[in-house]
Structure 1
Amino acid sequence: MAILEHVNVTVSDPKATAAWLGAVFDWKIRWEGDAMSGGYTAHVGDEGSYVALYTPNMDIKDPLHSYTTRAGLNHVGVVVDDIDAVEARAKAAGFKPHNHGDYEPGKRFYFDDHDGVEWEVVSYA
């Protein structure tokens, strides 16, 4: 069996992104520090998996739309127990949930963060 351990996403400010990920998903910083090419990285998650938040030591250009970019990150899916509580925390963090769905076998919504990364929140409870 294979288990996804982490994904690595380039963001404008790893510390700020780590802060809202902690507030919305109750994740912790597992590690942070210097990264390749003079950049900076923070690993945020739980004991089993995490999101690596990387920023290079250079200006970041605005990307094209991810769904039309080869190897673009379309969204990150996070499974939660209490979708209503997580949606409330996402709103409190300043995000605008959209594309709500109630489908078999669960419920979902999406929101876009400050860097344009789309997050899908899913509950199978």
Structure 2
Amino acid sequence: MTDLPLQVMATLPALQLIETLQARHGDLLFHQSGGCCDGSSPMCFAQGDFIVGDRDVRMGEIGGAPFYISPAQFEYWKHTQLIIDVVPGRGGMFSLENGEGVRFLVRSRLFSDEEFAQLQAAGRV
């Protein structure tokens, strides 16, 4: 069996920030909503501070933190691998990196036809 391509992954700077936030806040989770308040920034929460919707899709984990996405956003992004990075700036108003001088950012790349077929065969898209 071939390993499935990751649907979400994180850069080293993002993993380092996640580690810092975990030390401060405990177990974390991410949610990518595409909502109105903070645009399409991935939001980082302490587990228990955000209720994941029944239809939200768990795309994987980054730095040990589950990463969820709203169904509408998943439909839009299902052909891509999400790459969570960190850039200078202000974090989302409700996201734990707010005040750190950096924010999480989504980068992406399209899956190859072969990768997407593997995900389809596994029922992941």
TM-score using structure 2 length = 0.24
Flag the structure with more relative contact order, 1 or 2, with Cα contacts below 8 A and sequence separation at least 6. Answer: 2
TM-score using structure 1 length = 0.24
Question: More strand per residue: 1 or 2?
Answer: 1
